Chains A and B, each alone.
Chain A
Amino acid sequence: MSQAPVHAIAIHGGAGAVPRATLSAARERSFRAGLEAALDGGHAVLARGGSALDAVATAVRLLEDDPCFNAGHGAALTRDAAAELDAAIMDGRQMRAGAVAAVRHVKNPIELARRVMEKSRHVLLVGAGAEEFALEEQFVLVPNSYFRTAERLEQLQAEQRGQRVSDLVPPAPQGTVGAVARDALGNLAAATSTGGMTNKRPGRVGDSPIVGAGTYAKNGVCAISATGHGEYFIRAVAAHHVCAAVEYRGLTLQQAMHELLHVILPALGGDGGLIGVDRDGGVVMDFSSEGMFRGARDAAGRREIAIY
C-alpha cells in the first residue's frame, strides 16, 4: 500500500438521478467547473498548512455561491417559492459543532453554522432566532430573492404540476453540498449545506444540519458528509453510524459506508450518497443513487472529479 496522504479533501454537490444522456455537454462542463473550484479552493487551504475546518468551510462556501448546486444561491425552493436553508459544521478535534436550520436571509449558512459553534454556547439555532443571532454577529442579511434562480422556480412549478424534478430535462442536483477534510496535523472536519427538497413544506428540516445524521467528524475515526433523502438518513443516524462502525467494529471506512448505503438505507427505503475521510486521510465516496457530483484531492497527488 502506498503511504497515506498527509492531507486530503473530498466534496460532494448532491446525489440523485443524473441520467448521462440528459446532461448536455455545456451543463456538465459548468457542474464540473463548480466542483473543481470548490475542491481546489478547499485544497489550497490545506496545502498552505490551513486547518481541515477552514478547508471544509471554504469548499462549502464556494458551492453555496454557485447557483448550479442546491445550497445558498440557487437552493431548491419550498412550496411557497422561498429558499429555506440548513447547514452544519463539525470540528473533529474537540468534537465541537454548529448548525442552523430554516434560515431565509443568510447568504452563506455554513458561515453562520460556524459562528454558532464558535461564538454561542449552543449547537443548533433555527428560524428567526438563528437570524437574530446572525444580526448580533454582524452578518449582513440578504433578501430571500437572492437565493431564487429561474431554474429553481421552473423546477418548483414542475413539481407542483405533479412532475418529479428528477424527470426534468436537464436534471438538477437534488440534495446537498458538503465537504470532509483531514489536515496535516491529523485533524478531521465535516461540513454540509442545503436548500432541502424542492416543494418542501416550510419548516421541514432534513439530515444536513443534524449532527450525527448528515454531518459528523471525530478525530482518530472519520469525518462524514451525507446527501440524499434526509428523512432516512436521520432515522439511520447515518453519519454517526458510519463512525461507530469504524470505531467499535473495526470496519474500514469503505466497508462502513457500503453497509450503510447498500444494506441499511435500502432496508428503510432510502438512497443517497456519502463522502468520508478516515484518520489517515483515505477518502471514500460512495452512493446508491444514479449519480453523485463529487471530487477528491490529496497531498499524494490524487485529483478527481466525477458525476456518474
Chain B
Amino acid sequence: MSRPRVLAILAVMAVALLARAVAADPRPIVLVIHGGAGVIERARMTPAKEAAFRAGLEAALAAGYTLLEQGGSSLDAVTAAVRTMEDDPQFNAGRGAVLNHEGDAELDAAIMDGNGPHAGAVAGVRHVKNPIELARLVMEKSPHVLLVAEGAEEFALEQGVVLVPRSYFRTEARERELEEARGARPEHATSPPATRHVTGTWQGSMGTVGAVALDRAGNLAAATSTGGLTNKMHGRVGDSPLIGAGTFADNASCAVSGTGQGEYFIREVVAYDVCARLRYRDLKLAAAVEQVIHNLQRSGGEGGVIALDRAGSVALDFNSAGMYRGVRDSRGRHEVGMYRGEKP
C-alpha cells in the first residue's frame, strides 16, 4: 500500500475510534449554568460589558467544572458555580442582587441533591453572604427543607455562619435600577396578575443564577440563587427557593434550574414539570423543556430553564430576548452565550 493510503486509513480509523469514545463515554461529567434571563440584546450591550459577563460565566463554569474533573460531587460543583456568581456583582444573587422596595437585598436560594433526593432552601434572608451555602446547611444540618427570614438567619448563626451588613449586597448599579423602577410604577398594583401586563420591574435581567451538574458517580444536582425582583414587596418569594418550581433534581429523572417571572414558574411547577414530562411522557429532555417553555409562554410568563439528565443530555431554552448561560462537559463541549441564536 502507498504511504498516503495508509495514512488515510489510519486517519479514518482514528476518527471512528474518537467518535465511538465520545458516543460511548459511559460516565460523562457535565455542568450547565445560567446567570438570568431577560432583555439581553446586542444593541443594549457594550463590548466591555459583554466581555465582563462572559468572563463571569466562564469563572463560574471553571469553579464548578474543576471539581467535577477532580472526581467531586455534582452537589459541590453546583454550589461552587452558584457561589461564584453570587460573589460577582454583575449577577442578581448575593452581592449585586437587586434591591427591594425598601432598598435592601432580600435573598432566596435552593439546592437539591438528586441522590436521595434531599433538598435545602432559604428565603427572605438579608445578611447571609452566600445564600446557597446556607441552603446547603439547611439540607445537611437541619431536619427541614425551607427556612425563611429571621428564623433562617438564626439558624445561620447557630451553624457558625458569619453574617454581613445589608450594605454588603448593595451596588450603585442596583440603586440606580431601584430609583428607575420606583419612578416607573407603583410598588404593587391592585389588579390580578392574570389580567395585568407586567412591565417596569421585569426590565433588564430577570435574574437569578443557577447550575445543574452530573458527576462521575452519576448523581445529578441543581442549585439556584437570586435577589428576586427590583422594587419587590418586602417578603415576596419567587420560584428559586421553591423545590419543584425553580429548582429540582432527582436521579430518577433530571435536574433543572429556572430563571424568569417567578410567579408563573410557581403556578406551573416548572422545574418538576420538566422532569415529570421526561419521566412519564417518555419525552427526550429537549422536548420536555420545549413543552414547558411553550406552556409558560401561553400563560404569559417569561424566562428560561437549564436542564440535564443522567445520560448527560443538556437542554437550555428561554422565551425572553436572551439568557446568560454556559455548558461544559467531558465530551469536549465548552460554550458560553447570552443572546438568542447563539450557542449553547
Q: Are A248 and B276 within 8 A (Cβ)? A: yes
Looking across the interface, which residue of chain A has its beta carbon closest to that of B112?
Answer: A235
Q: Provide the bound-state CA to CA distance between A123 and B245, in Å.
A: 12
Q: Are B269 and A125 within 8 A (Cβ)? A: no
CB under 8 Å from chain B, chain A span 198-212: 200-206, 210-212
Q: Are B263 and A121 within 8 A (Cβ)? A: yes
B126 to chain A, nearest CB (A): 11
Contact A124/B266 with A213-B244, A234-B145 known, Cβ cut-off 8 Å: yes
Does residue A266 face the partner (Cβ distance < 8 Å to B)? no
Does residue B234 face the partner (Cβ distance < 8 Å to A)? yes
Does residue B123 face the partner (Cβ distance < 8 Å to A)? yes
Contact of B147 among A121, A128, A203, A240 (CB under 8 A): A203
Does residue B58 face the partner (Cβ distance < 8 Å to A)? no
For chain A, which range describes its interface: under 10, 10 to 19, 20 to 34, or 35 or more residues? 35 or more
Q: Provide the bound-state CA to CA distance between A101 and B234, in Å.
A: 13
A242 to chain B, nearest CB (A): 11
Does residue B248 face the partner (Cβ distance < 8 Å to A)? yes
Contact of A121 among B146, B189, B245, B273 (CB under 8 A): B189
Looking across the interface, which residue of chain B has its beta carbon closest to that of A204?
Answer: B144
B142-168 interface mask toward A, CB cutoff 8 Å, 1 = contact, 0 = none?
111111111110110000000000000
CB under 8 Å from chain B, chain A span 221-248: 230-231, 234-235, 237, 240-241, 244-245, 248
Contact of B233 among A95, A120, A211, A234 (CB under 8 A): A120
B210 to chain A, nearest CB (A): 17
Q: Provide the bound-state CA to CA distance between A96 and B195, in Å.
A: 11
Residue from B146, B155, B193 having most chain A Cβ neighbours under 10 A: B146
Looking across the interface, which residue of chain A has its beta carbon closest to that of B272?
Answer: A237
Residues of B within 8 A of A212 (CB): 242, 244-245, 266, 269, 272
Q: Provide the bound-state CA to CA distance between A302 and B262, in Å.
A: 40
Total interface residues on B, CB under 8 Å, equals 53
Residues of A within 8 A of B155 (CB): 201, 203
Does residue A62 face the partner (Cβ distance < 8 Å to B)? no
Q: Provide the bound-state CA to CA distance between A124 and B240, in Å.
A: 12
Contact A235/B235 with A201-B151, A210-B242 known, Cβ cut-off 8 Å: no
Does residue B2 face the partner (Cβ distance < 8 Å to A)? no
Segment touching B, from A16-24, A129-137, A159-167: A129-137
A188 to chain B, nearest CB (A): 14
Knowing that A211-B245, A235-B243, A245-B280 touch, tell me 10 more A-B residue pairs with CB under 8 angstroms: A102-B148, A123-B267, A125-B236, A125-B237, A127-B150, A129-B235, A203-B149, A212-B269, A234-B146, A234-B243
Instruction: Enumerate 15 A-B pairs (CB-CB under 8 Å) in ascending A order.
Output: A95-B268, A96-B193, A119-B192, A122-B236, A128-B235, A133-B233, A201-B154, A204-B144, A204-B146, A210-B146, A212-B266, A213-B244, A231-B144, A245-B280, A268-B117
For the complex of A and B, 9 pairs with smallest distance between CB atoms: A203-B151, A129-B235, A129-B234, A237-B244, A212-B269, A202-B151, A244-B276, A127-B149, A248-B280
Q: Which residues of A contact B (CB under 8 A)?
A: 90, 94-97, 101-102, 117-130, 132-133, 200-206, 210-213, 216, 230-231, 234-235, 237, 240-241, 244-245, 248-249, 268
